[in-house]
Amino acid sequence: MESINKIVTGSLVSLSEQELIECDLSYNKGCEGGLMDYAYQFVMDNHGINTDEEYPYRAHDWECDKHYLKRRYVTIDGYTDVPENNETLLLQAVATQPHIGNATTEAFKKRGSSRNFGGWNSFAV
């Protein structure tokens, strides 16, 4: 989301992970983990997301601060899932939007880039 916002507006804005942790609870589970697709859907349903500067990361779950939900600095119109091992669809997707990657922990342990959050192992770039 930060990348597409930079491409469209020319401004690189750090977005609030904490807003997603505390407020996107329809399917995601705060610090216990979640899926990127649900986070994107939350941002679309909320008509945007706040900045990290205004709703900073605190590394734990608190209650959603609904005051911040009204501050929407970046919006997205949609997202695309690409099936694994489908190079053609991946090329089509990256031609129209920034790439978001998702991989298993084992693939990134080999590179030393994996992180474990509450038992869920994942990454996105």
**Mean pLDDT of all residues in the chain?**
77
User: In the chain, at which residue ranges do the beta strands (DSSP E only) sit?
Assistant: 116-117, 120-121
Domain ranges of the chain: 2-121
In 8-92, at which residue ranges do the beta strands (DSSP E only) sit? Answer: none
Residues 62-81: tens digit of each pLDDT:
888 887 777 788 888 888 88
Q: What is the pLDDT of residue 79?
A: 82
Tokens of residue 21, six digits: 């942790």
Q: Is residue 110 over pLDDT 60?
A: no
**pLDDT (tens digit, 9 = 90+) per residue, 13-65?**
999 999 998 898 888 888 888 888 889 999 999 999 999 999 999 888 888 88
The amino acid sitting at 17 is E
- Between 42 and 116, whose confidence is greater? 42
Residue 111 has pLDDT above 80, yes or no: no
Does the structure show a pLDDT above 60 at 120?
no
pLDDT band at 99, cuts 50/70/90? low
Cα(101)–Cα(123) distance, integer angstroms? 7
CATH number of 2-121: 3.90.70.10
Among residues 70, 73, 82, which one has the least CA distance to residue 23? 70
pTM for the whole thing? 0.71
H-helix or E-strand spanning residue 91: helix 87-96
Contact 72, 47 (CB under 8 A): yes
Statement: residue 117 has pLDDT above 60:
no
